[in-house]
Chains A and B, each alone.
Chain A
């Protein structure tokens, strides 16, 4: 079984935020305004943040759920609404979430978002919502799923075509959109995959890896 992972090359990333927009559209992430953002209610599964690097420089990093292999958020969930699935994706079951926000507090990356109110879109945007992705109700937690619905779709298509799922069949919206090819997605357990090769590079680091969370989002340090 695949172990899905994402490599982001900070040398190639131009901080254009196309991934942020692609993600918002793909995953029906509700609309936020500057006012709601100021109150800590910005809804976005990817966000560019400045992270201090060794040496004192600040790198702009696209930050999303780090898809930890040892996620601090799943253990604390009282109803198993969030769990690590066999393919390494930290999943969310929206109808089971009771909205206690324990997982959001346990996550050191602060990438789990809570639906404080019912989701809203401007009238012109409402028809553009993705029919493949469920709209989350008020009061539940959501976050990046590595576009899990695309994996389900790819698997169905492969089955219909009578072949095995190939890693190339499945790519999240952010990776597909990235204009500078800074994002590479694939199976970390396949030693021949590009993603596994990059993850083993000397430039590779995992965010806050000293916490032992073992993220499957790998960043490549900017060249010296």
Chain B
């Protein structure tokens, strides 16, 4: 019983419009440019960046932290909403989970871009030194990548089976392999539900560990304004914050491009908006606590970084961050009348920009104000760094678009499922069983 209402979800997968092609070409050009720039950087070395002593980390590490942060979008949000049986989550979980899996590659990729010797990256596995927080990162992120890929794949299986039964040619073969013999039998449904349930719970501590460990890369050093015990939770909160903002941004685009207004309703944006409002307040609380303790103690080294951020060289960035991460989203989201689709989109874009700046103003000001009286300089990323950053965002968007052409971006079977979680398996969409 292939319900007619799933057609709007399935039809965009099987057809490619001219606008899609135009975007793919444009983004592909950006990716190709970035690839050429990367080859140049490999040849010339990290001298192609504008980094130097003492600002050894810059744009790439900012992007690393930002992308890993955004990856908390998906899995964590969808897992939490699944566990608390928030029924409104159903149309948005897939979109969120895809962000997680794809963006993780770019998080890791930015670390590779930042290596002086990317040819020796495997040394980290061949000669690991487990006292290094970078090793903790590698463990945590690879577990997270595996878990979130499984967590994306499991709920996809019934949908892949639907596509398998509707397609022919290479697509049929492709879906046939990926559907791993799904016929929708009660036993299969039972196993699937169990597996998703286990993964949803298991993925939460992993996700929390990921951004905690990312923060520890900084917090474990003794550098001023990095050496902070609040960094773990602060980064996790920031990660969920930027993650939700990324989901809303993606939702608005997908909804508009594929005409999914019937599925992604104002209620979804309202609910996510409330969640985002909570995170806005939490983020402000952490930011306030972090900076107040640094300022109040008046420790000279901490203070030199604090001053550079609030009144000095980095003040324009810092205050833009406060506006983007707190003032704008709080004003919009606290008012139910502005908590509309447009309102949440504006708030989300502001948060995405603000959270990127937050990562930058964590990485760079501490390094720009070292304890040792060495020559320091004003860091502004080079064209190489900007190009590679553009390439990362373009490649992410391209992969996301590619995903929408292979798989349903809204979970079909979860939409059809009765809200009562314990409904008999027979009541579930028997489409695949009937057609198999």
Q: Does chain A bind chain B?
A: yes
- Identify the A interface with B (CB < 8 A): 37-42, 47, 49-52, 63, 72, 75-81, 96-102, 104-106, 108-111, 113-118, 138-141, 208, 211
Within 8 Å by CB of B45, from A63, A77, A109, A118, lies A118
B44 part of interface (Cβ distance < 8 Å): yes
For residue B401, give the distance in angstroms from its CB to the closest CB of chain A: 32
Q: Mark B93-112, 1 if CB is under 8 A from A, else 0.
A: 00000000000000000010
Q: In the complex, are the beta carbons of A40 and B46 less than 8 A apart?
A: no
Q: In the complex, are the beta carbons of A101 and B57 less than 8 A apart?
A: yes
Q: In the complex, are the beta carbons of A117 and B44 less than 8 A apart?
A: yes
Give A193 to B343 CA distance when docked, in angstroms. Answer: 74
Q: In the complex, are the beta carbons of B127 and A117 less than 8 A apart?
A: no
Within 8 Å by CB of B116, from A38, A41, A140, lies A140
Give A114 to B376 CA distance when docked, in angstroms. Answer: 15
Within 8 Å by CB of B375, from A40, A51, A115, A116, lies A40
Q: In the complex, are the beta carbons of A138 and B120 less than 8 A apart?
A: no
For residue A198, give the distance in angstroms from its CB to the closest CB of chain B: 23
Residues from chain A with Cβ under 8 Å of B297 in the complex: none
Q: In the complex, are the beta carbons of A98 and B116 less than 8 A apart?
A: yes
Most central of B49, B54, B116, B221 by chain A CB within 10 Å: B116
Most central of B117, B138, B374 by chain A CB within 10 Å: B117
Question: Restricting to B73-106, which residues have a CB under 8 Å from any CB of A?
Answer: none
Q: In the complex, are the beta carbons of A98 and B124 less than 8 A apart?
A: yes
The interface-forming segment of B2-10, B246-254, B365-373, B414-422 is B365-373
Closest 7 interchain pairs by CB? A99-B116, A40-B52, A139-B116, A117-B47, A116-B47, A78-B134, A110-B372
Within 8 Å by CB of A109, from B118, B121, B372, lies B372
Within 8 Å by CB of B46, from A39, A47, A81, A116, lies A116
Q: In the complex, are the beta carbons of B132 and A78 less than 8 A apart?
A: yes
Give A99 to B49 CA distance when docked, in angstroms. Answer: 14
Question: Restricting to B38-83, which residues have a CB under 8 Å from any CB of A?
Answer: 44-47, 49-57
For residue A95, give the distance in angstroms from its CB to the closest CB of chain B: 8
Q: In the complex, are the beta carbons of A77 and B129 less than 8 A apart?
A: yes
Residues from chain B with Cβ under 8 Å of A141 in the complex: 116
Give A50 to B372 CA distance when docked, in angstroms. Answer: 10
Within 8 Å by CB of A39, from B223, B367, B377, lies B377
Give A75 to B114 CA distance when docked, in angstroms. Answer: 20
- A-B contact count, CB below 8 Å? 142
Band of interface residues on B: 35 or more
Known: A96-B127, A116-B47. A50 touches B375 (CB 8 A): no
Question: Restricting to B106-162, which residues have a CB under 8 Å from any CB of A?
Answer: 111, 114-118, 120-121, 123-124, 127-129, 131-135, 138
B220 part of interface (Cβ distance < 8 Å): yes
Known: A78-B128, A78-B135, A115-B116. A40 touches B377 (CB 8 A): yes
Q: In the complex, are the beta carbons of B124 and A116 less than 8 A apart?
A: no
| Between-chain CB contacts (< 8 Å), 26 pairs | A40-B377, A42-B375, A49-B372, A72-B221, A76-B134, A78-B124, A78-B135, A79-B128, A96-B123, A96-B127, A97-B117, A98-B115, A98-B116, A98-B121, A99-B116, A100-B115, A101-B56, A105-B56, A105-B57, A110-B370, A115-B116, A116-B45, A117-B44, A138-B45, A139-B45, A211-B222
CB nearest neighbor in B for A108: B371
Residues from chain B with Cβ under 8 Å of A100 in the complex: 111, 114-116, 134
Question: Restricting to B180-222, which residues have a CB under 8 Å from any CB of A?
Answer: 217, 220-222
Given A101-B56, A105-B221, A114-B116, 15 additional A-B pairs, CB 8 A: A40-B376, A77-B129, A78-B124, A78-B138, A79-B124, A81-B123, A96-B123, A98-B117, A109-B371, A114-B53, A115-B45, A116-B51, A138-B116, A139-B115, A208-B371
Q: In the complex, are the beta carbons of A41 and B47 less than 8 A apart?
A: yes
Within 8 Å by CB of A99, from B53, B55, B117, B134, lies B117
Within 8 Å by CB of B53, from A49, A113, A140, lies A113
Known: A40-B52, A99-B117, A113-B53. A47 touches B367 (CB 8 A): no
Q: In the complex, are the beta carbons of B370 and A75 less than 8 A apart?
A: no
Q: In the complex, are the beta carbons of B116 and A50 less than 8 A apart?
A: no
Known: A37-B375, A117-B45. A77 touches B52 (CB 8 A): no
Q: In the complex, are the beta carbons of A110 and B220 less than 8 A apart?
A: no
CB nearest neighbor in B for A80: B129
For residue B321, give the distance in angstroms from its CB to the closest CB of chain A: 22
